Amino acid sequence: MKLLEVKNLIKHFPVKNHKGQVVHAVDDVSFHINEGETLGLVGESGCGKSTCARTIIRIYDPTGGEIIFDGQNLATLSQRELKPIRKNMQMIFQDPYTSLNGRMTVRDIIAEPLIAHKIGNSQKERHEMVAQMLKQVGLNTEHGTRYAHEFSGGQRQRIGIARALILKPKLVICDEPISALDVSIQAQIINLLTEFQQKEKLTYLFIAHDLSVVEYISDHVGVMYLGKLVELSESKELYKNPLHPYTQGLLASIPALDIHAGKITDKAEMSGDLPSPISLPSGCRFCGRCPYAKKICAEAEPPMKEAAPGHMVACYLYS
């Protein structure tokens, strides 16, 4: 059953001092996540992953498109109408340092969702719930009275996870929850998240900027490039058989997966930088960096097509 379905989501930011120009942060993105599954969303820095996540959870108002969560279109709801829905949809943030308020104790941070949704009858009851949550994320009760700045990055991310999970949401959007952490801590956090998923039947939208991280935890993986979804497929299939030249390039850039890269051909190595999301090239957005670019690629944007069963890709090589 689909828990979240995103249809043609668009988010444009106006450019300051340039009337009419916009940043195409998210441009016509569609995907869905089944209940209890994990969708990995991958792409380079600046390709619009965070914007996509923040628009789904309605930190930003979408420019266009639909966000259907639990059968309800969130795109058109007001903040007031959204409030009861927020209980079921939470987010873990990218930066463990700025995502916790430094003027609040850990206990107050984790209790904030309870207060906002009037859960728990007394302060004591809420503190009890917070203490339990702290234990579940691997911290102890005494940590509750401390301030966030006293903790390491990994511990801070645990606090962020506790805050997101205390409401027992259905969907958790993880916006690069581990990219700011040491490699040794990354695994711990991933394990914690998968543990919770199994225990609580959580659904994850898991964002990362390289494919190696998502491989282990995702059922499906979507690859974003410059505000567009360029490839979407089952996780195993994507790693075995990457179709889009950009995905191939991403895979080639993972050192541990050199065997794959060798199989793909060296041409897949990407060169050049991300074009500006303000003035986009006409045609395929990857065209300028693509080793297989044809004439048509510069003329019209390739549509998303099913190139193999359950394997969607937006590239003229496969149509």
243 forms beta bridges with: none
Angle at 218 between CA 215 and CA 219, to 5 degrees: 120
151 binds, among another protein, ligand ATP, Mg ion, none (CB under 5 to 8 A by kind): another protein
Q: Token digits for 28?
A: 């016509």
Q: Residue from 2, 28, 46, 64 that binds ligand ATP (CB under 6 A)?
A: 46
Q: Residue from 8, 45, 73, 98 that binds another protein (CB under 8 A)?
A: 98
Q: Minimal CA–CA distance to 113: which of 168, 153, 72, 49?
A: 168
Binding mask of the shown chain, residues 134 to 153, with x at each position contacting ligand ATP by CB under 6 A = --------------------
155 binds, among ligand ATP, another protein, Mg ion, none (CB under 5 to 8 A by kind): another protein
Binding mask of the shown chain, residues 160 to 199, with x at each position contacting ligand ATP by CB under 6 A = ----------------------------------------
Does 14 engage in binding with another protein (CB under 8 A)?
no
65 binds, among Mg ion, ligand ATP, another protein, none (CB under 5 to 8 A by kind): none
Q: Integer distance in angstroms from the first to the last C-alpha of the chain?
A: 30
Do residues 23 and 276 lie in contact, with contact meaning Cβ atoms separated by under 8 Å?
A: no
Q: How many residues does the chain have?
A: 319
Does 45 engage in binding with ligand ATP (CB under 6 A)?
yes
* Closer of 224 and 230 to Mg ion (Cβ): 224
DSSP H or E stretch at residue 164: helix 153-165
183-213: burial string, b at 16+ Cβ within 10 Å, e else: eebbebbbebbeebbeeeebbbbbbbbebbb
* Closer of 21 and 145 to ligand ATP (Cβ): 21
Strand 72-73 and strand 64-69: the pairing is antiparallel
Residues 153 to 192 in contact with another protein, rule: CB under 8 A: 154-155, 160, 163, 167
Does 45 engage in binding with another protein (CB under 8 A)?
no
Do residues 1 and 27 lie in contact, with contact meaning Cβ atoms separated by under 8 Å?
A: no
* # residues near ligand ATP by CB under 6 A: 14
- Whole-number minimum distance, CB 134 to another protein, in Å? 13
32 binds, among Mg ion, another protein, ligand ATP, none (CB under 5 to 8 A by kind): none
Distance from CA of residue 113 to its chain's centroid? 21
Looking up tokens 């567009």 gives 228
Q: Residue from 72, 73, 101, 319 that binds another protein (CB under 8 A)?
A: 101
Does 99 engage in binding with ligand ATP (CB under 6 A)?
no
Residues contacting 122, CB < 8 A, separation 6+ = none
Does 90 engage in binding with another protein (CB under 8 A)?
yes
Q: Residue from 2, 7, 32, 146 that binds another protein (CB under 8 A)?
A: 146
247 forms beta bridges with: none
Does 46 engage in binding with another protein (CB under 8 A)?
no
Do residues 192 and 161 lie in contact, with contact meaning Cβ atoms separated by under 8 Å?
A: yes
